[in-house]
Amino acid sequence: MPDLTVFSKLETDLGVTFSRRDLLVQAFTHRSYLNENPGFKLSHNERLEFLGDAVLELIVTEHLYHTFPNPEGDLTNLRASLVNAKTLAEVALSLNFDTYLLLSRGEAKDTNSKARHTILANAVEALIGAIYLDQGMAVVKRFIEQHLLTRLDAIVAGQKYRDPKSTFQEFAQKYVNVTPAYKVLAEWGPDHDKHFRVGVYLGEEEVAVGEGQSKQEAQVAAAAAAITVKGWGG
C-alpha cells in the first residue's frame, strides 16, 4: 500500500484542499496498479479522465470564444494545441505528477516513453474531473487558467496552432504548384515505443526530414522543417 500522505504536498502545490481525498488519489491510480494490488480500495482513474476531458474542453472553448474573434477553424486548432496529450503531459511534468502516479512495477520502470506521456496527460484530465466533483466549476476553472491557459500566448505568438502539414501544402501549391508527398525512411523500437523518420518531397526533391513516435508526428515534424527550409513561413 503506498504512502498516501504524500498527496498533502500535491494539494499544497495545487492550492486545492480536497474534501474527499479519495478522489485525488483515484485521479492518479492507473489501471495497471490495480492489476498488481487487487485489494486497493479505489478504482482506476479512467472515469474521472472521461469527465475531466469534457470539463477541460468546455472551459477552454468558452475562453477562446470570448477572447478571439477568429473563425471556427482557428479556434478548433487553438483548442487542440492546448488540450492535446503533449501539452497536458508538459503540465503534468511541471507539477511533478510522476511522483504521485500509482502504477504497476512494469509501468513505473517505463519513465520516458510515449506511453508514460499518455499516462501523465490522462492524469491531468482525471485530476480536472476530481477537482470538478470535489470543489466545483470555479475552482477547476482557476486550475485550468493557471496551468493551461497561461500557455496560450506562446502558442499564438509562434502560430503553433497551425497544422504544419496543411500550411506546407498551401505554400507548396501556391509557389510551385506541387502537392507534398511523405515517405517513411526508417522505423525502430518496440511496438509500445516506436520511432519513425519521414521525408517530405516536392516531386523528386527531398525538402526535409522529421522524426516522431508515430508516422503522423514525424510527418508534422518534416512539414515544419520544410517550411523553414523553403523560407515560406514569412
174 CA to centre of own chain? 32
Helix (H, G, I), strand (E, B) or coil at 187: strand
Q: Is 53 a catalytic residue?
A: yes
C-alpha cell of residue 52: 475531466
Q: Is 22 a catalytic residue?
A: no
Question: Of the listed 125, 134, 163, 204, which one is catalytic?
Answer: 125
CA distance 186 to 72: 37
Give 70's DSSP letter. -
Output the DSSP codes for 33-44: HHHH-TT-SS--
CA distance 105 to 54: 30
CA distance 90 to 212: 17
CA distance 113 to 36: 21
Instruction: Spell out the residues 6+ positions from residue 47 whose beta carbon is closer than 8 angstroms to its own.
Output: 129
Give percent helix, percent strand, percent coil of the chain, each to the nearest 5.
65, 10, 25
CA distance 101 to 26: 10
CA distance 206 to 194: 23
Question: Of the listed 53, 193, 205, 206, which one is catalytic?
Answer: 53
Catalytic annotation, residues: 53, 125
